[in-house]
Amino acid sequence: MHKLCSTVALLAAAALILPTTAGAQQKIVIGIPTSPPNIVHMPTIVAKELGLYKKAGLDAEIVSLGDGVKVYRALLAGNIDFGLTPGAPTIIGRSNGAEVKALSANLPKFEASMVVRANIKTMEDLKGKRIGIQEPGGFADILSRSVLRAAKIDPKDVNFVSIASEDVPALVADQVDTAILHVEQEMLAKSKVPDLHAIGRMWELQPKTLYTFLSATEKTIKEKPAIVQAVVAANIEATRIMYTDKAKIMPILVKQTGYPENILSESFDFMIKNCIWDANSGLSPERVNFTADLMTKVGNIKEGKTPKYEEIVDTTFAKKAIEQLGEWKGPVCPTAAF
What is the pLDDT confidence band of residue 138, given thresholds at 50, 70 and 90? Answer: confident
Residue 298: what pLDDT?
83
Can you list the alpha helix ranges (DSSP code H) found in 245-284? 246-257, 261-273
Tell me the DSSP string of 122-171: SGGGGTT-EEEESSTTSHHHHHHHHHHHHTT--GGGSEEEE--S-HHHHH
* pLDDT value at 212 more than 70: yes
pLDDT, mean of residues 136-164? 90
* pLDDT value at 45 more than 50: yes
Residue 15: what pLDDT?
40
Helix (H) or strand (E) segment spanning residue 222: helix 218-223
Helix (H) or strand (E) segment spanning residue 60: strand 58-64
Domains with residue ranges and CATH for the chain: 2-110+208-325 (3.40.190.10), 113-205 (3.40.190.10)
* Strand order, beta sheet including 212-217: 58-64, 26-32, 82-86, 212-217, 100-107
pLDDT, mean of residues 251-275? 97
Q: For the chain, give the mean pLDDT.
A: 91
Residue 277: what pLDDT?
97
pLDDT, mean of residues 185-208? 95
Least Cα distance to 104 among 329, 316, 311 occurs for 316
Cβ atoms of residues 99 and 218 within 8 Å: yes
Of 8-12, 44-48, 185-189, 284-288, the least confident: 8-12
Max Cα distance, the chain (Å): 65
Least Cα distance to 318 among 290, 268, 279, 273 occurs for 279
Tell me the DSSP string of 296-329: HHTTSS-TT-PPPHHHHB--HHHHHHHHHH----
pLDDT, mean of residues 229-241? 98
* pLDDT value at 50 more than 60: yes
* pLDDT value at 164 more than 80: no
Q: Which tens digit of pLDDT belongs to each residue from 5-40?
A: 444 444 444 444 454 444 588 999 999 998 889 999
Residue 165: what pLDDT?
66
What percent of the chain is modeled with pLDDT above 70?
A: 93
C-alpha 294/C-alpha 208 separation (Å) is: 10
* pLDDT value at 3 more than 80: no
Tell me the DSSP string of 170-213: HHHTTS-SEEEE-HHHHHHHHHHSTT-EEEEEHHHHSTT---EE
Q: pTM of the full predicted structure?
A: 0.88
